[in-house]
Amino acid sequence: MREIIFDTETTGFDPKTGDRLVEIGCIELVDRRETGQSFHAYFNPERDMPAAAEAVHGLSIQFLSDKPLFASRVDELLEFLGDAPLIAHNAVFDFGFVNAELARAGRPALDMARMCCTVQMARKLHPGAKHSLDALCTRYGIDRSHRVKHGALLDAELLAHLYIEMTGGRQIGLGLAASPAAVPVAATAAAAPRTGARPFREPRPHVASAAELARHAEFVAGLNQPLWLDTV
């Protein structure tokens, strides 16, 4: 199964008031394992960068001024996303900004049915706990020491590790279930040729012989004050 983990950075909190998408990072998972394929892009927001937003992600308008517009890379982004489920932390926020940019570019919005929100997952798994990306990485032992500021691709990579752990860890994909074509062990053993010179020995019946029972009775009779007689 193919899934896309993604994260965005923006100029603010609400695309309806003019805030814009400035960075997106996407990580591909197949059967809950990273494939090494990713999509990452910075975008010129065609507006100023509020100081509060720059303090979060460190992206200045000077840095973004020569970056492409979202519309110029929209086809590349949509091709990478394909029809895979899309996982994000506080996904409604990220979907809102991506869909606002798609609307500006004259493209259909992403179907919200594709959305999977790891914040909602965390609330069900850990009610009452902190559900920030930092807090959950600490809970699951995911190293985030290299995360100085928010960054879309870096946060998507951390979220990919977190999503894998929150959905059962890597052991869930070990494939321990029997294959439909698996041959029963007994049939395999019966069909396997015997090797070596060791002679075949018939299995011993799991019942004591008369001689063994007699020796046991003789042994018990010779015991000096056995403990079980104290209860008689």
Catalytic residue among 89, 131, 150, 161: 150
Alpha-carbon span 226 to 232, nearest angstrom: 11
C-alpha separations of 228 from 123, 214, 222, 224, 232 in Å: 58, 20, 14, 11, 7
Is 161 annotated as belonging to a binding site?
no
Residue 65, beta-bridge partner list? none
**Residue 149 neighbours by CB distance under 10 Å:** 13
Q: Is 150 a catalytic residue?
A: yes
Q: Is 9 annotated as a binding residue?
A: yes
66 among the known binding-site residues?
A: no
The dihedral built from the CA positions of residue 52, 54, 60 and 64, taken in this order, carries a sign that is negative
Per the annotation, does 155 bind a ligand?
A: yes
Sign of CA dihedral 106, 112, 114, 119: positive
Task: Specify binding-site residues for substrate.
Answer: 7, 9, 57, 155
Residues carrying an active site annotation: 150
Task: Specify binding-site residues.
Answer: 7, 9, 57, 155
Task: Specify binding-site residues for a divalent metal cation.
Answer: 7, 9, 155
